[in-house]
Amino acid sequence: MSRGPAGRDGDAPMSEGRIPRAHPGHRPTIRDVTAPLPDLVLYARGGCHLCDETRSALQTLLSDRQARGLATPRLVERDIDTDEALHDKYAFVIPVVALGDTELELATSPARLRRLLADGLDAGAPA
């Protein structure tokens, strides 16, 4: 019998890209083969009406994505007034929305937010 690169006697050779089994009987799940989604981060501060509008728009967009079965990241809010470095970086451009390495400053347009989500999450997804 042939041996695969990581196989035992009698195992089929491992094909390129195949996820090795953690233990006998393990069946890969979607979590084994799918990278986790990046958090969607809203940099804001209390008393900022533009931040409130952006938060509301994001909640609506995320609910819509979830209802349509699209990848839906977790929304995380960071108060720039609690971190000096964040305050120095974003004080004059909030609300800022970040997904992965992409940031939108003065992110108040639902269309721009929708595009950020689509570009960052739907690349390669069937139309």
Q: What is the CATH number of domain 37-121?
A: 3.40.30.10
Q: In whole angstroms, give the CA distance from residue 124 to residue 118.
A: 10
Q: Are 104 and 54 in contact (CB under 8 A)?
A: no
Q: Which H/E stretch holds residue 99?
A: strand 96-99
Q: For the chain, 127 residues long, give each residue's pLDDT as a single digit of tens.
A: 444 444 444 444 444 445 455 556 666 555 555 678 899 999 999 999 999 999 999 999 999 999 999 999 999 999 999 999 999 999 999 999 999 999 999 999 999 999 999 999 987 555 4
